[in-house]
Amino acid sequence: MYREFANKQKQPLVIVLSGPSGVGKDTVLQRMKELQLPFHFVVTATSRPKRKGEIEGVDYFFVSADEFIAMIERDELLEHALVYDEHKGIPRQQVRDAFASGQDVIMRIDVQGAETICQLYPEALLIFLSTQNEEELVARLKARRTESEEKLQLRIETAREELHKVELFDYYVVNADDQLDATVDAILEIIASEHRRTNPRQVRL
């Protein structure tokens, strides 16, 4: 459905997919990539260490803290934030190049970064991804077992706070357990609907 519609679109969109840790942002984006949809998926730069199975330039651009600070000083980042004591940011030129190609641009950003994009580029399309309830979110975070108990509790508390920021977004999508394709379909329908607007979003990067 979306692939056929995308061939007819004129004005590309800047799409922000955000939500607390544990809602499945990476899983949703990976499924969209598997479907070979005509999007440009922006790769985030981060100063955190690479986790097992992650690929440089695919999951993230992994840089040192000093390199990240240098990128900030050279104004190379569209937005950046300190998240759980590690830097994360969106490379500006990557977004500009993708946008100029005419493709819709999808950025996976934490809620703090999404707030920044909302202020800088109010015409961006912001989609908030969530679980069915807080209990499900906490269970997912605990099941990951990728960090210490102290850091896990910090993520849980931060996630609870971020769930209350949904009103900053244009759309809300629930990523329920075992409903990945339904989640992707909901996101694609939102994007297709946005392309049908009589007054399209005019993003200036």
Residues whose CB falls within 8 Å of the CB of residue 80, separated by 6 or more in sequence, listed in order: 68, 71, 72, 87, 88, 89, 90, 113
φ and ψ of 56, to 5 deg: -60, 130
Report the predicted TM-score, pTM, of the whole model to 2 decimal places.
0.86
For the cut 80, the answer to whether the pLDDT of residue 3 exceeds it is: no
Q: Decide if 155 is catalytic.
A: yes
Among this protein's residues, is 51 annotated catalytic? Answer: yes
For 39-69, what is each residue's pLDDT tens digit? Answer: 999 999 999 988 888 889 888 999 999 999 9
pLDDT at 2 over 70: no
**Thinking of the domain 2-195, which architecture would CATH place it in?**
3-Layer(aba) Sandwich (3.40)
**Which of 48, 92, 108, 155 is an active site residue?**
155
Given 51, 92, 201, 204, the catalytic residue: 51
The predicted model gives 70-90 an average pLDDT of 90
Strand, helix or coil at 126?
strand
Summarised one tens digit per residue, pLDDT across range 121-180 is 999 999 999 999 888 888 888 887 767 788 788 888 888 889 889 999 999 999 998 999
Tokens describing residue 49: 């260490």
User: Distances from the Cα of 53 to the Cαs of 58, 111, 114, in angstroms?
Assistant: 11, 25, 26
Strands 77-83 and 86-91: antiparallel
Catalytic residue among 144, 145, 196, 201: 144
What is the pLDDT at residue 166? 93
